[in-house]
Structure 1
Amino acid sequence: MKTVAITGGTRGIGFGMAQALLAGGHRVAVCGTDPERIGKVRAELPENALVHAADVTDRAQVQGFWDAAAERFEGVDIWINNAGVSHPRTPMWELTADEARKVLNTNLLGVLNGCAVAVPAMAARGRGHIWNMEGLGSDGRSVPGLGLYGASKRAVTYLTEALAEESPDQVTVGLLSPGMVVTDLLVDGYRDPAELAKARTVFNILADRVETVAPWLAERAVTRTRNGAHVQWLTTGKVLRRFAAAPFHKRDLFAD
């Protein structure tokens, strides 16, 4: 049984992983920023889960989340930097300063804050693993209108690979890659309904629902904790097989 802390764990893939880990008998702590959502998650998760309010862009709040989880469960074995936000699909120069700052502060500074809190605490405890969450852009692929988001995720991959070389021997670091998951992060931000409809065609081939991907990631998050680990759901081989099967196997992930 492991103790797992997940930033941004009150919604989306983070919440799905939390549910899967709890179902597997693990101890789980999650944090988020939306008071209404936090209250709803507290009611949905069992009493042995910790649900905490924390903004990952503020290192003091991240430290508070760590302290609460460590006190509740007598330490944290696995820390997952999952919190992330996107922006409207538009050329990056059209984003406001606040929109740009929010993406970079959450997706990059938030990961750095999580690592800065977890690494020394895990080293002092003598063990621990950190997962950082990849996303669009991590592999260097660019998508028009999502340049800033992609840049933030590309930076997270570089940061993680560097941290795997810098971290103390007691602390291991790796990357989780969920691929395309049907969450608000995937479908929000489209200003043109025709563009969204076109994108959904691709999503129906390559994307998956949270309940499909989250348990798969959760199981590997607690079993593949070697330094430099890279866990990928949507591999190149899977992409090729899905496109090949698309004419014969129709999927509609948005039917509901």
Structure 2
Amino acid sequence: MSAARGRVVVVTGGTRGIGLGLAREFLARGARVVICGRSAASVEAALTQLRAGDRATGLPTDVSDRASVQALWDHAMATFGRVDVWVNNAGISTERVPLLATDMVKFDEVFSINVNGVVNGCAVAGQGMTSQPGGGWIWNMEGLGSNGQIQPGIAVYGASKRAVNYLTEALVKETKGTDVKIGFLSPGIVVTDLLVGDYGNDPEGFAKAKKIFNILGDKVETVTPFLADGVLKASKSGARVAWLTGPKAAKRFLTAGFTKRDLFQDT
């Protein structure tokens, strides 16, 4: 807990899923937390769940809008006086469809949140951290596609995450020698509404995918403690905190016949 005590952490998209789980874990380790979501109602509901009193606050934020993200930074500063860690977690996906059948409205929406939102968060947090003593950390969330993996049906989401990976690597180089440090967060396959929603129009595909998800996937409450600890312990810019590593995935497949898991029984 001492590693986080008193530190201020902003988590975008912190009202549900991995974001809410991260907020909860940072609070459990003594940090003060700022979250954002798309609506005031979602922010208030999340703060009620967190039950952290004056150690947690939030603001409705459109991460695709630079001014809205700046307002989130300003709110954090007005409330806690500084920001030590900024996590660009907010992200959306679409139902699985071939690229050539993708609705351009959906395409624009995914990139405006997943890519523009990350750029806005990095720019606002980076400028703010440059102006405060001690600088700070910016962490960007990876996802399927970040490392070049290709899967049919999720070209738009995968391309957005590949873009985030490139942008993050560029930021590591551009901030070298400064007090602003950059990190990669890789949660692996986590059972959230985002994951399930990808298969909203493909129940048969979901039935098949569940077999792999139950081998390689995990729940939010399993993954987020590991991610939070990794963020708080990191010391060198360019650090990657990855839950589902290659060796871990290989072990899961080797033991799949002996370990029965159903991560979707409550979904």
TM over 0.5: yes
Residue 178 of structure 1: aligned partner: 187
In structure 2, distance between residues paired with 1:247 and 1:77: 44
Q: Give distance in 2, aligned partners of 1:137 and 1:143.
A: 8
Contact kept in structure 2, 1:3 and 1:26, CA below 8 Å: yes
Q: 1:27 — aligned with what?
A: 32
Indicate yes or no: 2:87 matched with 1:80: yes
1:38 aligns with 2:43: yes
Q: Which residue of 1 aligns with 2:62?
A: 55
> Over residues 91-126 of structure 1, what are the superposed CA-to-partner deviations in whole Å (9 max), with x where a residue is unaligned?
122121210001001000100000010111101113
**Once the two structures are aligned, what percentage of the paired residues are identical?**
50
- What TM-score, normalized to structure 1? 0.97
CA contact (8 A) 2:143 2:161 kept: yes
Q: Structure 2: how far apart are the matches of 1:15 and 1:39?
A: 12
Residue 130 of structure 1 corresponds to 138
- Asked whether the equivalents of residues 174 and 225 of structure 1 are also in contact (C-alpha less than 8 Å), the reply is no
Q: Distance in 2 between matches of 1:240 and 1:171?
A: 35
Per-residue deviation at 1:42? 2.5
1:112 maps to 2:119: yes
Which moves more between the two structures, 224-233 or 132-141?
224-233
Unpaired stretches in structure 2, ≥5 consecutive residues:
none
2:161 equivalent in structure 1: 153
In structure 1, what is the equivalent of residue 257 of structure 2? 247
- Which structure 1 segments of 5+ residues have no match? none
CA distance in 1, matches of 2:220, 2:37: 18
**Cα–Cα, structure 1 residues 250 and 8, in superposed 2: closer, same or farther, change >3 Å?**
same
Q: Secondary structure at the match of 1:5?
A: strand
Letter in structure 1 aligned against 2:246: T
1:65 to 72, 76, 82: 72
1:156-197 CA-partner distances (Å, limit 9, x unpaired): 011001001102611000100000000011111312211110
Give the 4+ runs in structure 1 shifted more than 6 A: none
Whether the aligned pair in 2 keeps the contact of 1:103 and 1:152 (CA below 8 Å) is yes
| Paired positions, count | 256
Give the distance between the partners of 1:42 and 1:172, measured in 2 at CA. Answer: 28
CA contact (8 A) 1:136 1:150 kept: yes
Equivalent residues of 1:5, 1:80 under 8 A apart? yes
Amino acid at match of 1:7: T
Work out the CA distance in 2 between the residues paired with 1:189 and 1:132.
Answer: 21
Check whether the contact 1:62–1:113 (CA below 8 A) recurs between aligned residues. Answer: yes
Residues in 1 aligned to 2:32 and 2:44: alpha-carbon distance in whole angstroms = 19
In the TM superposition, residue 209 of structure 1 has moved relative to its aligned partner by: 0.2
Aligned Cα root-mean-square deviation (Å): 1.0
Q: Could you tell me how far apart the structure 1 residues matched to 2:185 and 2:236 are?
A: 12
Measured after TM superposition, the shift of residue 36 of structure 1 is: 3.0
Q: Relative to structure 2, which stretch is displaced further, 185-194 or 198-207?
A: 185-194
CA distance in 1, matches of 2:136, 2:91: 22
> How far did residue 139 of structure 1 move?
0.7
Q: By how many angstroms is 1:41 displaced?
A: 1.2
Match of 1:196 among 184, 187, 206: 206
